[in-house]
Chains A and B, each alone.
Chain A
């Protein structure tokens, strides 16, 4: 059997492993084995590639060892609260890898056919946008950049201009790639710029959409790189990732009732709406001690977390509270909005880290019909995802967005630092509802106070 044949057979097996692995990812009890299968496929694909005749191993070893060390270092250190940043960075590295593969191929054979050149062009363009866009997303999540949308006049004009420039480059470059090598450098720079200017205007709470989209791009970039080197495993794996990212993007947009265009270009949340003083109701504050008395009697409790839970790192105390309530005879569930947090599934990971069993985590559609029978709903660090205005206020910017209908519970506790508005910059009528009690303070402190009440009784 020739080496080339062996390699290709290994690639087929690897593709099957990727697909099986992703399929097993659809159930919590098989997901871990699924991930393992997928990793096995990757190991096989790498091993097979190393069989390529005449490979210069010194280069390969250097790159492989450095990358493995860095990857392993970060993966074992990263905190679960930092997962959005980590995923953003990983997306970025995927993009950069594709950009560099395209660049290397171009430098090695500048005068390739039009199709290879087109693939190289796409590989560099998508890879570059993914890389710099992910870095901006990372900086926003990490707090190096303000997470509010950064908009300036003529921003869309600038993006359009960059796109036109890139198209212009394509026109000359594709015709005769070797004679226009400075254009290649220009392409690299422009694609990096485009990534930056397209993510800057997107606000923090829209990050789940952006991260999903960049995830998809990193797959598409791998796909393009696959066409550069005519390799089927890159195309298959890249397409799988591209499809997965697009599905997640769609789910996130739907969960906010906004189109992808609106998320990407509107600078949503950059303008703080004027508060309507006329409709402002009365706020009823409550002390943690009194909250305990209500919770003590509750038979059914739903906890609705939002990004504030992650900020306050309150997941462990919340889990403890949940356990005490259960011991006290209450049914405890966690209602999770699809876009709660800064990336898809953010809250689920945090609560899983705190040892909350996944069968207690319920999706929005499952919990809403039963909300009337809930004694106490505790909203922790969530705002827009529980704002009833989304259901009945047609003038509200979030009108039409599906929410967790906490307002229908018999009693609603909202744990919040202040009366400040959420990401969308709008008032939340939930806070002034008759059955709502506001418990002001840091989420972790407040929950801890309720816990100590429970323990002292």
Chain B
């Protein structure tokens, strides 16, 4: 990481994203807290991007690739499990009078 401008830029993004996160999420009603948690959990599975690169973009280094594959498995469980279970839960939230 020799490029300080890039780093500053990334920190800039980090700051904005944190504030954006606070703004967006503070409005979620408590009824939806569990789906919010499992849904945001699925988003934290974004580590999959790093995991793919760790698995596939580390040529001639088997251990690094293997660690990457392990990371991919974990992150993919997070992504697939998180989104599916959130969808299942939200499918159960119904308004009064809606067909079961």
Known: A32-B90, A67-B74, A112-B1. A94 touches B44 (CB 8 A): yes
B interface majority secondary structure: helix
B37 touches A22 (CB 8 A): no
B47 touches A225 (CB 8 A): yes
CB-CB under 8 A from B59, the residues of chain A are 54, 56
Task: Assign chain B's interface to a size class.
Answer: 35 or more
CB-CB under 8 A from B98, the residues of chain A are 357
A344 touches B94 (CB 8 A): no
29 pairs of residues in contact across A and B, judged by CB atoms under 8 Å: A21-B43, A22-B25, A22-B39, A25-B32, A28-B32, A32-B90, A35-B86, A39-B87, A46-B52, A54-B59, A56-B59, A59-B55, A70-B77, A87-B38, A90-B42, A93-B77, A93-B78, A96-B74, A100-B70, A101-B54, A107-B64, A219-B43, A230-B1, A235-B14, A239-B14, A240-B25, A242-B21, A344-B37, A348-B30
- Find residues 5-31 in chain B having any chain A CB closer than 8 Å to their own CB: 6-7, 10, 13-14, 17-22, 24-31
Residues of chain B touching chain A, judged by Cβ–Cβ distance below 8 Å, are: 1-2, 6-7, 10, 13-14, 17-22, 24-59, 61, 63-65, 67-98, 100
**Closest A residue to B80 using CB positions:** A71
CB distance from B50 to the nearest CB of A (A): 4
- Find residues 354-397 in chain A having any chain B CB closer than 8 Å to their own CB: 355, 357-361, 363
Q: What's the Cα separation between A49 and B71 when bound, in Å?
A: 15
A90 touches B73 (CB 8 A): no
Known: A211-B37, A241-B40. A338 touches B30 (CB 8 A): yes
CB-CB under 8 A from B58, the residues of chain A are 104, 108
Q: What's the Cα separation between A54 and B32 when bound, in Å?
A: 42
CB-CB under 8 A from A19, the residues of chain B are 20, 24
CB-CB under 8 A from B39, the residues of chain A are 21-22, 25, 34-35, 38
Q: Which of A161-169, A244-252, A276-284, A292-300 contacts B (4 or more CB under 8 A)?
A: A244-252
A38 touches B30 (CB 8 A): no
Contact for A248 among B2, B36, B49, B79, CB less than 8 A: B36
Q: Which of A78-86, A140-148, A423-431, A440-448 contacts B (4 or more CB under 8 A)?
A: A78-86
A101 touches B43 (CB 8 A): no
- Find residues 211-266 in chain A having any chain B CB closer than 8 Å to their own CB: 211-212, 215, 218-219, 221-223, 225-248, 251
Q: What's the Cα separation between A264 and B71 when bound, in Å?
A: 29
Q: What's the Cα separation between A241 and B30 when bound, in Å?
A: 17
CB-CB under 8 A from A348, the residues of chain B are 30-34
CB distance from B48 to the nearest CB of A (A): 6
A353 touches B78 (CB 8 A): no
Known: A46-B52, A357-B96. A222 touches B10 (CB 8 A): no
A35 touches B52 (CB 8 A): no
CB-CB under 8 A from B45, the residues of chain A are 42, 94, 97
B35 touches A25 (CB 8 A): yes
A418 within 8 A of B: no
CB-CB under 8 A from B80, the residues of chain A are 67-68, 71-72, 75
Task: Assign chain A's interface to a size class.
Answer: 35 or more
CB-CB under 8 A from B51, the residues of chain A are 63, 97, 100-101
8 tightest A-B contacts by CB?
A: A67-B76, A63-B72, A243-B21, A345-B33, A71-B80, A75-B84, A344-B33, A71-B81
Q: What's the Cα separation between A207 and B2 when bound, in Å?
A: 42
A29 touches B54 (CB 8 A): no
A271 within 8 A of B: no
A344 touches B75 (CB 8 A): no
A240 touches B21 (CB 8 A): yes
**Closest A residue to B83 using CB positions:** A39
CB-CB under 8 A from B72, the residues of chain A are 59-60, 62-64, 67, 97
Contact for A38 among B20, B42, B68, CB less than 8 A: B42
A4 within 8 A of B: no
CB distance from B86 to the nearest CB of A (A): 5
CB distance from A442 to the nearest CB of B (A): 24
Contact for A101 among B24, B68, B89, CB less than 8 A: B68
CB distance from A290 to the nearest CB of B (A): 30
A18 within 8 A of B: yes
